[in-house]
Amino acid sequence: MSGLGPTLPASGKAIVTRAQSARWLMRTRGRLDQSGLRILFYHRVADDRDALAVSPRRFREQMDFLAAAGYRVVDVAEAARLLVRGEVSRKTIGLNFDDGYLDVAKHALPLLEELGFRATVFVPTGVIDGTASFGWYSRQPPLLAWDEIVELDAAGTLRFEAHSITHPNLLRLDDETAREEIAGSKLALEARLGRSVDAFCYPAGLFGERERRLVAKAGFAIGVSCEPGVNVPGADLLALRRRQVDPRDSLLDFRAKVGGGHDAPLPLRNLYRRLRYGEGRRMQSTRLPRRPHEIRP
């Protein structure tokens, strides 16, 4: 089925994840590595049967763990600032939500406020407008509306940043369309929020040298990928590393993701993505038709 969310079939991914977490636990006895700054990302926080939805109960358990372990939790812009200043010695986690689902405001925000955490939400402006939709849903879950986004952004706990206009696979677009998806999303979001928008999230984490260049040229200071790993001072701010938290992650998996046990991609992930998305294989033609169904979050 084309266009579904997860990068690997969910059950297989959970098994491989669990094995990687167990190795981390044996290797480190659960000691949390603090050598740099890790960014964790979610999509939805809801009880729905959806490969992108972490349950509110698990989300609370995860955030409570971070609070109890003494982590400072910051949005992506603040994470980038800390990296630039070289201030990553304290326990710090960058947090973000992709795509702008309504359940993030409902189930995650109250907890973040309670704990004093901050997070970025990356929104595709055309999908929020309702002129585009996520191709991997037959029934798309409710998204935040513009008036809610403007209000929440001003309130301070959630900071909204750009995630293209229609959430395409940028690698498959001609130069002009890719430029419009990147630069146009910045302009549209800035017009709504009334402030400068500095961070861009590559849809599905798919990007190459051209996309990175277009993001820089559009005036973004920060770009986030879906490549796992730790960000250290001097890191490429236009290709920051992030690790997704999955619905099936146990608390051990989450601890391992926080503590450095999942800094390497899962086995076979790169092969899978190459086969599925043609990643790394630059499209030669500049007149390829757009393929809106070959996208994922």
Beta carbon nearer to Zn ion, 205 or 259: 205
Q: Tell me how far apart the alpha carbons of residues 253 and 239 are, in angstroms, rounded to a whole number.
A: 24
Secondary structure letter of residue 104 according to DSSP: I
Binding mask 39-78 for Zn ion (x = CB under 5 A): ----------------------------------------
Q: Tell me how far apart the alpha carbons of residues 17 and 277 are, in angstroms, rounded to a whole number.
A: 22
Beta carbon nearer to Zn ion, 200 or 254: 200
Beta carbon nearer to Zn ion, 128 or 256: 128
Binding mask 110-149 for Zn ion (x = CB under 5 A): ----------------------------------------
Taking CB under 5 A as the rule, does residue 181 contact Zn ion? no
Q: Tell me how far apart the alpha carbons of residues 224 and 229 are, in angstroms, rounded to a whole number.
A: 12
What single-letter amino acid sits at 155? A
Place of tokens 């046990």: 261
CA atoms within 13 A on the CB side of 21: 18
> Are the C-beta atoms of 60 and 111 separated by less than 8 Å?
yes
The only residue of 75, 99, 153, 279 in contact with Zn ion, by rule CB under 5 A: 99
Binding span for Zn ion by CB under 5 A among 62-70, 91-99, 189-197, 215-223: 91-99
Taking CB under 5 A as the rule, does residue 249 contact Zn ion? no
CB of 207 to Zn ion, least distance (A): 13
CB of 81 to Zn ion, least distance (A): 23
Tokens at residue 156, please? Answer: 């301070």
Taking CB under 5 A as the rule, does residue 297 contact Zn ion? yes
> What is the length of the chain?
297
The only residue of 75, 98, 198, 263 in contact with Zn ion, by rule CB under 5 A: 98
Q: Which helix (H) or strand (E) holds 73?
A: strand 72-74
Q: Is 247 helix (H, G, I), strand (E, B) or coil?
A: coil
Binding span for Zn ion by CB under 5 A among 34-42, 217-225, 257-265, 289-297: 289-297
What single-letter amino acid sits at 76? V
Q: Could you list the residues that contact Zn ion (CB under 5 A)?
A: 98-99, 297
